[in-house]
Every structure is written in C-alpha cells, then in structure tokens.
A and B are shown apart, each in its own frame.
Chain A
Amino acid sequence: MTDAPSTIAERSADMLARATPTTIAVRVRGLSDRAIAWLFITPTIALLLAINIFPLIWAVYLSFTNFRANRPNAEVEGVGLRNYQRVLNDPDIWIAMQTTAHFVFWTILLQMIIGFALAYLIDRKFRGHAFWTTVILIPMMLSPAVVGNFWRFLYQPQIGLFNYIVSFFTGIPPSSFEMLGSVTLAPWAIIIVDTWMWAPYVMLICLAGLRSIPDYIYEAAEVDRASAWRQFWSITVPMALPFIMLAVLFRGIENFKMFDMVMLLTGGGPGSTTEVASITLKREAFESWLTGRSSAFAIILFVAVFGLANIYVKALNKVKQR
C-alpha cells in the first residue's frame, strides 16, 4: 500500500480510519486498512469455500473417477471422460431431461400468466388490496414438505377435495381418475401444485414492476387518446418486461432443479413419467451408488443451467438498457 490512497473506497476507508476513536485506533495499530478489511471478510470466504467451492471442486474430481460412496475402501481409479460419455449416451437421462424441460416450460408459462394477471388486478389499488396481497402470498410461504403432503390428500381419489370439485363441475365420478397415479395426469398434478405455490412469487415481482411505472405516464397516454388496450401493450408490458423476465429467470433456475415437490407427490412415478433430472440424479447417486457417474451428471446439469442463465441475463440487460 502506498501512502496516497487512490480509489474512492480507499479514500473513504482512510477517512473512516482517521475518524476512528483513539482507543480502537491504538488497538489495531500496525494493521493497514486493507488488512482490517481482509480480517472482516475472511470468515465469510472461509465458510463459502468450505460449503460451496470445495464440494464443487470435489464433485468435479469425482466425476473423473469410478468412486462409489457405498464402498469407501475400494481403490479409486481415474476413468477419464468415460462417466460423461455414459451420461450423455444414456437414453433414460435424455428422457429425464425432456421431462424436466416439459415441467419448466409449462410451470413458467402458467405462473407468468397467473402471476402477472394477479399483479395487474392487485395494482388497481381497490379497498383491501393489501389484505388480499397477503392472502395470495400464503402458499409461497409454506414449507414444500407441508404443501406436498397437503396436496397428496387433496388429490386422493376417494376423499380428496380436488377430485370432488372436478366431479362437481364436470360430472365425472371422483374416484374414476387418479391425479397422481395416472400416466397422463401425474405430470399435470405436479405442474398444478408448483403453479399454486409459486405464482404468488411471480405476482410479487410483477407487482414491483407495475408499481415502478409512474401514474403520469398513463395520464399522458390517456390525454393522448390511447385506449386501455393500447396503454397495456405500449406502456404496461414494455415497462414491466425486465421484471417479468427476472421472474422467468428465477423460476426457470428453480424449476430446472425441481426435486422436493416431485419427490413428495409422485417420487418420479408412475413408471418414470414424472422423473425429472434431479430425481434421476438422486437415484444414480444414492440408489445405484454410482457416485462418479452421478457427479458427472450433476456437473453437466450445472453447466447447462449456468450457460442458459448467462445467455438469458445478457438478453435481460439488453431489455433493461432500452
């Protein structure tokens, strides 16, 4: 460190140091500001390394070996890229990826439509809108374990409320279909629950977007004779778009790794119709105990999500800068 502080951060640290009461100044004498800064952030960095970075690097290492966690004493051999080759050539894994894509697409579409519609209605600022906002947010605040078990009861063919309501409106006998047991219905059962739980989250983000649009823009448009329809498409949507895109990003990343809800509701069944990537991964890792191979799979998933998210964030920034 030189004597003349150069950056603003250093300069303000310098000012702070000078303003520090003498007792503390004496106690830390001999330490530069830079050293004190490091002292403060070291615990965080250490924790991050221990619980995030190290396991990641360890998984990368394991993905190149034939290590099996249920045989810790067996000799570990390097296998090069064979794990990756196997994963990418495994048809079951590609089916799981397809199932995941299907889930991600439909949950995002439904959550965006419902979430945005709710936000648009709540933003009308009618009487008691704050109360309704809270009510709508309740599903999102529940634990996924509670939600999963709760919906298992709702979907129960004989006593479940869901089947009863469907039969009430359509006349189809309630015990004639099983939401969680049918090959065609089970994926939709999960999509419905995920949408019920997370549409409020999308609503919250969209609401922030809608609230950021100043009233006078709408007033100007009204004086300019723009219809409500035109105001919606030429003001509301473009100005809320960065927020909507942000919601898509958050929900997309979350649902790409969707595990808890599927595990609780169907466990991947019936057959493997709802077996998303994370369920396959769990099976490979903790049922087949193919630790090396499942590590390779995990790395592939990570790179895929990371890559997609990056491309998406670039697009988001472009929209924001307009």
Chain B
Amino acid sequence: MALNVLVVDDSAVMRAMVIKTLRLSGLPLGEVHEASNGEEALRQLDAHWIDLALIDLNMPVMDGEALLACLRRNPETAQLPVIVVSTEGSTTRIEALRRQGAAFVHKPFTPEQLRGVILEVTGVADASDLDEGLGPGCGPDF
C-alpha cells in the first residue's frame, strides 16, 4: 500500500529536503502534499487522505503544537502517525509531544535518521528490505 504523506514546514527548502529524503527512502510513496503552516495542513487533511504527517513546530499562523493538538482532538485524525521534525532541543517540549503520540526527529537530521523514524512510525516495511533505496553515502547526494 502506498503512503500518502503531508509535509508541513514554513521553509520551502526544508520541505524539499524532507520530500527528497522520503523519495530516497524506498518507502512506498503515494501522494505527497505540502503545507507551510498548521492551518494549511488542516485544509490539506480535509481534502486528501493522509497516512503520515511530518510537521515542523515553529511556524506562522498556526504552529506545530497547535496543529498536533487539533489532530488529536479530531476522531478522524486522532491516530494519524505524526513525526515532528524540528530544531527543538528542550526535553520538556519533546516529552510533551511524545505524550501526544508524535515521534520526533531533530534538525539537522541525516537521511538515515529520518528514514529510521519513518520506518518505526509507519511499520510499512522491514528496514533490511529498503537498504537498496537509501544506502550509505546518500547524504552528499541529498
């Protein structure tokens, strides 16, 4: 089954980096949607079926914490797999995110780190099945 993914970040460059990592990861990707803040993300979620959301924290209009709270309050998205991709370094905030069922990837990340968390969260494939998709040395080719 192909995964439909939503990437939420106010930086277009960072969205491009995350999407490139997703494409290199060997994951069975379906549609990839983008949003630059939490409100846009909610509109994308209304319009499309999403299997996995990767969200930044510090964004204008609606930040990632508010978006995550909205997702968890809505029965339709309460169980949506979410990975927060952020520069956040506070263990206090990261623990609060984990309590809401979000995984966490710290920026800067290597493609391998992001892939590992995606595999853990989605459980779509065993990592050993995907080694050809994103092998060692993929970093400089990002």
A joins B in a complex:
no
B interface residues, Cβ below 8 angstroms from A:
none
A interface residues, Cβ below 8 angstroms from B:
none
